[in-house]
Amino acid sequence: GAGVSQSPRYKVAKRGQDVALRCDPISGHVSLFWYQQALGQGPEFLTYFQNEAQLDKSGLPSDRFFAERPEGSVSTLKIQRTQQEDSAVYLCASSLGSGGYEQYFGPGTRLTVT
């Protein structure tokens, strides 16, 4: 079956631009996670949705970062006024149940801020 998909796969933004990253989770998966992964590091948690409810946004690094999942399926991570330190791979993962025990990752979006 179809896995988690993300778009775009690559994004180059000039500093100060706004970007929107999309995640299509596996159909029927309740839980959706966003992570940020810097080169040579493990993923860092950003935020968690259970259906349409954002239950944890404690990992969002600043108020420039915003995520939504309005209908409990597709999710969008928006970064306003991008900065160079935002350059990273943004990973989306989904899991069938709540709690996030078996997470399936999308291919990621590589964001480069110039």
Binding site residues, another protein, CB under 8 A = 31, 33, 40-45, 48, 55-56, 58-59, 91, 99-108
Nearer to another protein, 25 or 106 (CB): 106
Q: Minimum distance between the CB of residue 70 and another protein, rounded to whole angstroms?
A: 20
Nearer to another protein, 44 or 80 (CB): 44
Measure Cα distances from 36 to 1, 61, 71, 79, 105 in Å: 26, 10, 23, 12, 12
Q: Minimum distance between the CB of residue 38 and another protein, rounded to whole angstroms?
A: 10
Tokens 């000039």 belong to residue:
14
DSSP assigned state of 78:
E
Q: Minimum distance between the CB of residue 93 and another protein, rounded to whole angstroms?
A: 8
| Beta strands 19-24 and 5-7, pairing class | antiparallel
